[in-house]
Amino acid sequence: MDSSRQASLAPSPELTPDLAQELAPWLALNTSACCVLEVGGFRPTGDPAASHFGLPPLMKPEETWPLDSADQPMQFIAQLNLAQAPWRPDALKDAAMLQFFVGEKFIESSCAPETWAIRLRADLAGLVPRQQPPFRDDAWIGKGFEARWLQPQQDHPCYDDSSMRLPEGMEDFPEEAHGLCSGRTKLGGYAKSLQHEIAFLRPVQDEDGNWLPSSDEPEYLLQIDSEGKAGLNWVDGGIVYLGRNPTTGQWSVHCQFY
């Protein structure tokens, strides 16, 4: 990230001035923009197009609700109004809204494609709020909450992020940088790993027996945190990560938890 763009972003809340000075060479190589979503804690607007967790999502009147492989209605999780975000990844520049749904076997299937759905909308024309149909699993969302985007801020990688780069003379991830990767619901930035480096697809083994990322591995674009106010808990304080292959447009989902 160029230094002028980096300087225009609010620093990570965990980055003190002394730490910024100490880590300056590493930060110069490992800083990206992200936009964090604040859930509740403010007077809601009541706008049905606002970002939210667990309120009625906007859909076309004739649109079918996402179903899992057992033809059961999925549960609506989050509506993210991308057009209202003050910053978003380039891959989402032409999208107005993203909605995320999960099915009954979402976790136990390791996020199999038939257990989740993403609705990415280019515009909001003709959309109306749709009530959640009954589903047979326990509710992921305890209470619906409106959300809003905060101003873009700096984000930094975790120790196991393969995109992390070390400046000359630094041999390992600096211990002082732990905690600088935001674990909140956010657009862009770096994926906040909880167990190991994020991998949406199974790695492949080369002829020498080395495990390498799949050639179809998508680009990480956003993450959805466990949101306590909405009663959303991915197993145990987990995070769901969403990525899309820049060539095929295929979405993938991954979840990690404590």
CATH number at 35 reads: 2.30.320.10
Asked, for residue 67, whether it belongs to a domain, the answer is no
Asked, for residue 13, whether it belongs to a domain, the answer is yes
pLDDT of residue 185: 98
CA angle 242–244–248, rounded 5-degree value: 160
Task: Locate the DSSP E strands across the chain.
Answer: 32-39, 52-53, 58-59, 75-81, 97-102, 116-121, 128-129, 145-149, 153-155, 186-188, 204-205, 211-212, 219-225, 239-244, 251-256
Average pLDDT in the 128-154 region?
Answer: 93
Mean pLDDT of the chain: 94
User: How far is it, in rounded angstroms, from Cα 56 to Cα 14?
Assistant: 35
Residue 4 has pLDDT above 70, yes or no: no
Which pLDDT tens digit goes with each residue over 75-99?
999 999 999 999 999 999 999 999 9
Asked, for residue 66, whether it belongs to a domain, the answer is no
Asked, for residue 168, whether it belongs to a domain, the answer is yes
Average pLDDT in the 104-115 region?
Answer: 95
Asked, for residue 209, whether it belongs to a domain, the answer is yes
pLDDT of residue 7: 57
Residue 11 has pLDDT above 60, yes or no: yes
Q: Which of 49, 82, 75 lies closest to 131 in space, CA to CA?
A: 75
What residue numbers bound the domain in which 41 lies? 3-58+72-256
Residue 36 has pLDDT above 50, yes or no: yes
Q: What are the C-alpha distances in Å from 89 to residues 14, 82, 214, 219, 253?
A: 23, 10, 22, 11, 17
Which pLDDT tens digit goes with each residue over 175-190?
999 999 999 999 999 9
pTM of the model: 0.94
Asked, for residue 64, whether it belongs to a domain, the answer is no
Asked, for residue 54, whether it belongs to a domain, the answer is yes
Quote the tokens at residue 252: 């993938």
pLDDT of residue 212: 81
Asked, for residue 20, whether it belongs to a domain, the answer is yes
pLDDT of residue 152: 97
Residue 126 has pLDDT above 80, yes or no: yes
Total structural domains in the chain? 1
* Sign of the torsion angle spanned by Cα atoms 254, 37, 192, 142: negative
pLDDT of residue 180: 97
Average pLDDT in the 15-42 region?
Answer: 96
Residue 149 has pLDDT above 90, yes or no: yes
Residue 5 has pLDDT above 80, yes or no: no
